[in-house]
Structures are given as C-alpha cells and as structure tokens.
C-alpha cells in the first residue's frame, strides 16, 4: 500500500508498515532539550529512579533561550542542565562556549540526519523536517520518557501535500511561502497533520528557506513539516560529520493525503502577518498602503537568523543609516553564522548602519530579553509568532515578515516593500 514520507520514516523505525491514524511506539534518534524545558525533564527523570540515559549520544541539550543568563532564575535553570550534562558525561551539550539557537545549531553540527525521528521540548522542533526527517515538539515529561526509554508513543499523522509551483521573486522567500500557507488554512488548518512541501518551487529554495517553512509548520497546527531529500539537502550535509547514516525516503506517487494545497509562488508577493496571529497575512503592498510606523526591526530567531538573512540585510543596509526612530536588532542563529557574517563583512555593514548585534539567543522572540517591546510599540520581526504580548508589552504589536522587509523598514521607519 502506498505511503507518504512521514509514514515511511515511522515504518522504518517500527519495523513494519504503518499508516496515518495508527498509534505506534517508535525509537527516537535525537531528543532535544533547552534551558527552559530541560530542568522539568530532568526532574521527571530523577523522580522515576532512572540512573542513566537510554541513548546518551541521541540526547542534546542546548542552552539558548536566556544564555548568557538574564537573571538569577535563568542562571539557576541553566545550572540544572549543566550539572546533569556533567554527571552523565553528555557529549552533545552546548553552552556559552559553543552556543546557538537549537534549531540552527544542531543541523550545523550534523546531529540531524535524513530519516531521523526527532523530538524536542520546544514547539519549533519541526524545523528539522527540512532535512527529510520526522521532527516534532513534545512536552517536557514526554522528553523524560524518551530520555529513560529511548522511544515514545506517536499517532502517525495524516499529511497535507503542499504543491508549490514557479520560481519565487527576488524578495519572496520560504518565510513568505509558509505565511501564505498559514493565511490560507489558518492556525489550526493542519492540526496534528504533516505539512509535506513539494512541487517545482522546491528546487529553487535554499536550505534556509526550507528551515523557515518547516519551522512555522506548527503555526498552522501541524505535527511536523517535511521536505524530501534532494541535491540541496545533499550539498548542505556534504561538509558535516553526520551522527548517523542517512535513510532517504520519498512519498509514493499514489500516497493518500488528507488535503492537497496548490500555490503559485511565482506570483506571490512578500507576505506580512499582522497582529495578532500568524494567519493574519497581507501582501506587503497592503502594508505599504496602511503606512505602518515601526519602533523596532528585528532580524533573527530560529526562523530567520541564518547567514542568508544577514546577507540580505547587509545588502539592503549597505551605505545607509537606520531611521532615527527605529531600533534595529540582529540576532545570528549560531556563533558559526556570526563569525562567517563578520568574515564576509555583513556585520560591519549592519553595525555601521546603526544596528546592534546580540549573541545567538531566543530571548527577543519570546519577549524574554535582548529586544523587549514597551507599551504601544510596534515591531517588524522575522520571528514566528505575533500573539498578544509575544515580544513584550501586551499593548505592543508584532508584524511578521522576511529579512528583506525588516531591513528596508528599519531604514524608512515604516513597513516598506524591498522590491
């Protein structure tokens, strides 16, 4: 019987054919925790009486939300993870010495491999589906169960096939594609389903584009986002010492889908998600007409803090100055990205234009630190959520956009079309 790529990945892990709707117990290749969620998992691990990890090399802890620590509470949270990692001699523990946002860092390290089953106690764990893996967010106690047993229970999700056609315009990116999908189907349109991205457009999308698309699959309620392995994937992985042997899967042509969604990307303008939902999408043309003044422009996060984002920003900012009423904050996804951006001159351009660069952190995205919004302030942001109070004050507003829109808007003081 025909299968989707998601069904095939689970079948390989279970050792028999499985299909959407089945409840299965699967081994997990990589369990991911961070400084916010892992202490709860560690507490549950200890309360269970467990003394060792079932799969030590398949467990990563990345301190990325509030590191360097923003206050005493966050310092103590990190301390719990540091002590656990040392006690269990964890080799995949990433702190300030080798820091990065987890969903950018682990692919960079070769710890995410095509065909993997991956869970993380962070909703944007679905990012890793860009590498042809099944990857999803779960709760901290689910993480503890995987730490203890090496596996977990899943309901195999139905799939929505997203067929993308056409070559995107210069400033239409993976971020715009996923915002358009969420606009069309809503924040619960893919509830507990796999968003499988296919079509002729995929060949034109960089790995960074694909990471952005899979990252925000959760904003449509999806269990996971996934893109099949191809030459772009192969090139991305070519310089990495992979943790495991890749297992390549493709959906059968006659696989069964819950829905098929077709989008002509060639005619897609940059998309702006207005407050207070990622599904509240509008063309950048509409945003220009609405004359939306911004106080802060933010470029970064696990969605758009990659090298291509910094390159785009630098190209737009080169030789110009950030508007006097705007704060431009740039957060690279990892230290490696930061170093490469400096080497290529992107950071000099950003700083000379009046931008400020932070360490790799999730802080601003969730309104924690490194870019909190005050009362009634407006941000144009490359992050993934724009709920009430997401980046600070409950009276603030966040407009989601790609890096080009954020950069040009930092110059003009209003949401602006970069084309």
Does a structural domain hold residue 221? yes
Do 136 and 78 fall within a single domain?
yes
Question: What are the structure tokens assigned to 268, written together?
Answer: 């897609």
The H or E element containing residue 359 is: none
Q: 39: domain CATH number? A: 3.30.499.10
Do 209 and 323 fall within a single domain?
no
Do 78 and 219 fall within a single domain?
yes
**What is d(CA 253, CA 332) in angstroms, rounded to the nearest whole number?**
39
Do 306 and 282 fall within a single domain?
yes
Do 63 and 113 fall within a single domain?
yes
Question: pLDDT tens digits for the chain (419 residues)?
Answer: 899 999 999 999 999 999 999 999 999 999 999 999 999 999 999 999 999 999 999 999 999 999 999 999 999 999 999 999 999 999 999 999 889 999 999 999 999 999 999 999 999 999 999 999 999 999 999 999 999 999 999 999 999 999 999 999 999 999 999 999 999 999 999 999 999 999 999 999 999 999 999 999 999 999 999 999 999 999 999 999 999 999 999 999 999 999 999 999 999 999 999 999 999 999 999 999 999 999 999 999 999 999 999 999 999 999 999 999 999 999 999 999 999 999 999 999 999 999 999 999 999 999 999 999 999 999 999 999 999 999 999 999 999 999 999 999 999 999 999 99
Question: What are the structure tokens assigned to 296, written together?
Answer: 């802060």
Does a structural domain hold residue 369? yes
Among 263, 297, 329, give the residue marking a domain's end.
263
Q: Which of 323, 340, 294, 312 is nearest to 403 (CA)?
A: 312
Does a structural domain hold residue 418? no
**Residue 68 half-sphere exposure, CB side, CA atoms within 13 Å?**
3
Q: How does strand 296-300 pair with strand 378-381?
A: parallel
Do 252 and 303 fall within a single domain?
no
Q: Is the pTM of this model over 0.85?
A: yes
- Residue range(s) defining the domain that contains residue 39: 5-263
Does a structural domain hold residue 407? yes
Does a structural domain hold residue 121? yes
Give CA separation, 277 vs 50, 123, 179, 212, 389, in Å: 41, 16, 10, 17, 12
Do 321 and 196 fall within a single domain?
no
Does a structural domain hold residue 15? yes
Do 258 and 278 fall within a single domain?
no
Do 162 and 212 fall within a single domain?
yes
Do 335 and 405 fall within a single domain?
yes
Does a structural domain hold residue 205? yes
Q: How does strand 281-283 pair with strand 271-273?
A: antiparallel
Does a structural domain hold residue 417? no
Do 164 and 298 fall within a single domain?
no
Do 92 and 232 fall within a single domain?
yes
Among 230, 263, 296, give the residue marking a domain's end.
263
Among 243, 263, 283, give the residue marking a domain's end.
263
- What total number of domains does the chain contain? 2
Classify burial at 325, counting beta carbons within 10 Å of its beta carbon; exposed 0-12, middle 13-18, buried 19 or more.
exposed
């Amino acid at each position: 019987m025909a299968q989707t790529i998601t069904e095939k990945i689970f079948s390989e892990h279970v050792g028999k054919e499985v299909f959407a709707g089945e409840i299965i117990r699967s081994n997990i290749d990589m369990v991911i925790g961070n400084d916010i969620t892992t202490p709860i998992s560690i507490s549950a691990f200890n309360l269970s009486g467990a003394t060792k990890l079932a799969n030590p090399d398949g467990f990563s802890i990345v301190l990325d939300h509030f590191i360097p620590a923003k206050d005493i509470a966050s310092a103590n949270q990190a301390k719990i993870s540091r002590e656990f990692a040392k006690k269990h001699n964890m080799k995949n523990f990433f702190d300030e010495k080798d820091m990065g946002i987890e969903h950018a860092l682990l692919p960079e390290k070769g710890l995410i491999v095509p065909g993997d089953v991956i869970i993380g106690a962070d909703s944007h764990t679905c990012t890793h589906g860009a590498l042809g893996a099944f990857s999803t967010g779960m709760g901290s106690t689910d993480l503890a169960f995987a730490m203890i047993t090496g596996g977990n229970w899943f309901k195999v999700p139905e799939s929505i096939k997203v067929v993308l056609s056409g070559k995107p315009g210069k400033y239409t990116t993976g971020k715009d594609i996923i915002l358009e999908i969420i606009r069309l189907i809503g924040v619960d349109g893919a509830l507990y389903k796999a968003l499988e991205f296919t079509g002729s457009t995929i060949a034109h999308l960089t790995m960074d584009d694909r990471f952005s698309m899979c990252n925000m699959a959760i904003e449509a309620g999806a269990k996971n986002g996934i893109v099949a392995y191809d030459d772009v994937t192969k090139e991305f992985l070519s310089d990495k010492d992979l943790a495991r042997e890749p297992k390549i899967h493709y959906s059968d042509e006659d696989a069964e889908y819950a829905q098929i969604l077709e989008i002509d990307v060639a005619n897609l303008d940059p998309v702006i998600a207005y407050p207070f939902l990622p599904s509240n999408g509008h063309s950048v043309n509409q945003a220009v007409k609405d004359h939306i003044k911004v106080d802060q422009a933010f470029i970064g996060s696990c969605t758009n803090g990659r090298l291509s984002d910094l390159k785009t920003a630098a190209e737009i900012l080169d030789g110009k100055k950030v508007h006097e009423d705007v704060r431009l904050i740039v957060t690279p996804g990892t230290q490696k990205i930061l170093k490469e951006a400096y080497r290529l001159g992107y950071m000099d351009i950003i700083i000379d234009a009046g931008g400020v660069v932070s360490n790799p952190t999730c802080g601003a995205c969730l309104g924690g630190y490194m870019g909190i919004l005050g009362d009634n302030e407006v941000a144009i942001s490359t992050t993934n959520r724009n709920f009430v109070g997401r980046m600070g004050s409950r009276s603030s507003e966040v407009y989601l956009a790609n890096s080009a829109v954020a950069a040009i808007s930092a110059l003009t003081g209003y949401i602006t079309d970069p084309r």
